[in-house]
Amino acid sequence: MARNMAVLGAGAIGASIGADLTQAGHDVLLIDQWPAHVEAMKANGVHVTMREEEFVVPVQALHLCEMKDLHRAPLRQFDIVFLAAKSYDTSWMVEFIKPYLKPDGVLVSVQNSLNDEWISPVISRQRDIGCAFELSAQVFEPGRVVRNTTRATTNFVLGELDGNITPRLQEVAEVLRAVGNTKVTDNIWGAKWTKLMFNTMVSSTRGALNATQHDLLEDPGVFDLVARLGGETARVGTTLGYSLEPILGLRVQDFLGPKEELFKAFMRSIFSYTGKASTSMIQHDIAKGRLTETEYINGLAVKKGREAGVPTPANEAMTAVMKQIDEGVLQPGMSNLQILKQYMSGRKAIAT
């Protein structure tokens, strides 16, 4: 059945999804708030560069302000909306797109963090499908996406928030197969917590320290920080009752008591599919002078830790340091490792 779709937030992730879905023959509208990017997509399509492939896809694209034209009769509404915006833009964007989502339509949050917690109260749980994903991409020039994961190394895990396996869930999974590997799960919250755990470890550390692949794998101080961040997040999740999904062959027990070689194998696996030259999501945001999502990643681990009664000193320290980087008080660099250690040891008060 033909479906009317939209990608709301057509940055690196959204444009990658929109380009592949369009190329697969789906009717997709890309909507974004970066004027130059939208104009470039309108004029020249989306230019995608992958490791062994480069292509251009003509796409339908609109500025946010142009969405008002869709109110004209007949009102254009969507069967599926893929939300690929930053977590801090989630609430207002869901309110924004709500009138354009069909009564039986679904919104799929292709985002970091546990955004479904604040999406479902707006559109209802019945119209919200959860997603945990592995897709790495960057966009520094309008209309041009550098995608670090190929379709073979891009993965989507989709699930209904109540754990049921439904026909519509299977349909969305089938649609996303044009972008990467897909599977459905009855444990989407566990899968999303696993992705959150990964982001608290890798994205934030690379952002705060401007760390390289070599730093994460070989520097003992950085490695210890990564292990602490992941262990804390895993303990919070399991205490709250989440059944964390295995990731890249490792179980939650491996994160609660990390063995050096297992952790290094995990890191090497990550970089084997994102590429040696890729930056983390947070490094990308810092380079563009944009607010990072740290409050919704490490900050969320801290918030949930307080609810669970689980201490999270490493995540508290990371949240504080990244807040100062967002504010321009600190600059990313390895010198921040000492500040993080001081926060974690209690020798320095956590900045608020």
* Statement: the pTM of the whole predicted model exceeds 0.85: yes
pLDDT tens readout for residues 5-58: 999 999 999 999 999 999 999 999 999 999 999 999 999 999 999 988 999 999
| Measured distance CA(118)–CA(109) in Å, rounded | 11
How far apart CA 16 and CA 147 sit, in angstroms, is 7
Q: Look at residue 3 in the predicted model and tell me its pLDDT.
A: 87
- Taking the C-alpha atoms of residue 299 and residue 222, their distance in angstroms, rounded to an integer, is 19
**CATH numbers and ranges of domains, the chain:** 4-186 (3.40.50.720), 190-345 (1.10.1040.10)
CA distance 209 to 222: 9
**CB–CB of 194/132 below 8 Å?**
yes
Position 162 scores a pLDDT of 96
Structure tokens at 304: 């949930």
Burial zone of 92 (CB within 10 Å; 0-12 exposed, 13-18 middle, 19+ buried): exposed
Residues of the chain with pLDDT under 70: 1-2, 73-74, 246-284, 351-352
pLDDT of residue 250: 57
257, exposed or middle or buried, with CB in 10 Å at 0-12, 13-18, 19+? exposed
The pLDDT value recorded for residue 244 is: 86
